[in-house]
Amino acid sequence: MEHKPATVRILTMNVFGPGNPDWERRRRLLGRTLRELDADVVALQEVPVDAPDVLAELTGPEYHFAHFSHHSHDGVAGTVATRWPHRVVAELDLRLTERARSTLPWCAALLIELDTPLGKMVVTHHKPSWPLPFELERERQALLVAGFLEDHLVGRDEAHAVVLGDFDAAPDSASMRFWRGRSVVQDVSVCYQDAWEYAHPGAPGITFDLANPLVRDGELGTAVSRQIDHILVRSGLHGPTLRVADCHLVLDAPVDGVWASDHYGVVADLVAPPNQVEGRVASPAT
């Protein structure tokens, strides 16, 4: 019988919460689809964190949740759900400027750590500032979170790190160029591999799409279609510590006439790289 490698499935989805149109039908579709995907780590944005019944409907009842500390007036914020128990490492307040403080109350990064079949994993649910002119904030927010992660991972070569969420930034933006190792900010550089880019080199991975009427008729209907939802895997000296076995979009078309959200979700299956033996990365040939 063929041996199947251990896999950890990661998913991010902005659910366009209950204050938006057609929530009841969208919620049922979201719940049915997300439960079928059966991801091991799920980052949800714009979700009512004070409604455990809704969260259980979206993911299934067996998950362990960590919510953002702050939420909007209607109880909407971000959360991360894991199949296995986790511990919260930190929550970083990303409201770094006056205009960032005046827009999104739950602008933050929530870091958790858990044991997975692939080893220890640090997962960061990253939610930077959303307005289009706020790339200054998004770059500073990326620098803060990446720096914290590097400090946390010092001397822990066995640990993996994944950053995911609604980044509100396209791949060619300053913040995403920094995350992906294409640019340096304040003499700091890191390198995270975008799961979509690895699985579909050169192909657009649009997640906020004017073809979707929830986008076209919404507040950002005059903007361009963009890829703004990402799953990123941290690189060590020789490349990402985990390999992307698959990555695809979720709910990127209507189902029985229902669009699930104004965002499309992203799901990635992560496995150990070929040079990893018994949980350790083999030394390169000299």
pLDDT 10s digit of each residue in the chain, 286 long?
A: 555 789 999 999 999 999 999 999 999 999 999 999 999 999 999 999 999 999 999 999 899 999 999 999 989 999 999 999 999 999 999 999 999 999 999 999 999 999 999 999 999 999 999 999 999 999 999 999 999 999 999 988 889 999 999 999 999 999 999 999 999 999 999 999 999 999 999 999 999 999 999 999 998 889 999 999 999 999 999 899 999 999 999 999 999 999 999 999 999 999 999 876 434 443 333 2
pLDDT at position 249: 98
Q: Is the dihedral of CA 182, 42, 109, 16 positive or negative?
A: positive
CA angle 129, 134, 138 (to 5 degrees): 55
Q: What pLDDT does 109 receive?
A: 98
Tell me the residue ranges of DSSP E strands in 130-242: 160-166, 192-194, 229-236, 239-240
What was the pLDDT predicted at 278? Answer: 39
- For residues 263 and 249, what is the distance between their CA atoms, to the nearest angstrom? 10
Full strand arrangement of the beta sheet holding 41-48: 64-67, 76-82, 41-48, 8-14, 265-271, 243-250
pLDDT of res. 195: 98
Contacts of 177 (CB under 8 A, 6+ apart): 171, 183
Number of other CB atoms surrounding residue 95 within 10 Å = 19
Q: Find out whether 7 and 270 touch, Cβ atoms under 8 Å.
A: yes
Does the domain spanning 8-274 belong to CATH 3.60.10.10? yes
Tell me which amino acid residue 29 is.
L
Cβ 137 vs Cβ 99: under 8 Å: yes
CA 193/CA 239 separation, integer angstroms: 8
The whole model's pTM is what?
0.94
Q: Which residues are CB-contacts of 21 (< 8 A; sequence separation ≥ 6)? A: 214
Tokens of 66: 């960590």
Say what the pLDDT of residue 86 is. 98
Q: Are 57 and 29 in contact (CB under 8 A)?
A: no
DSSP 42: E
Cβ contact 15:251 at 8 Å: no
Model confidence pLDDT, tens digit, residues 199-236: 999 999 999 999 999 999 998 889 999 999 999 999 99
Do the Cβ atoms of 241 and 160 come closer than 8 Å? yes
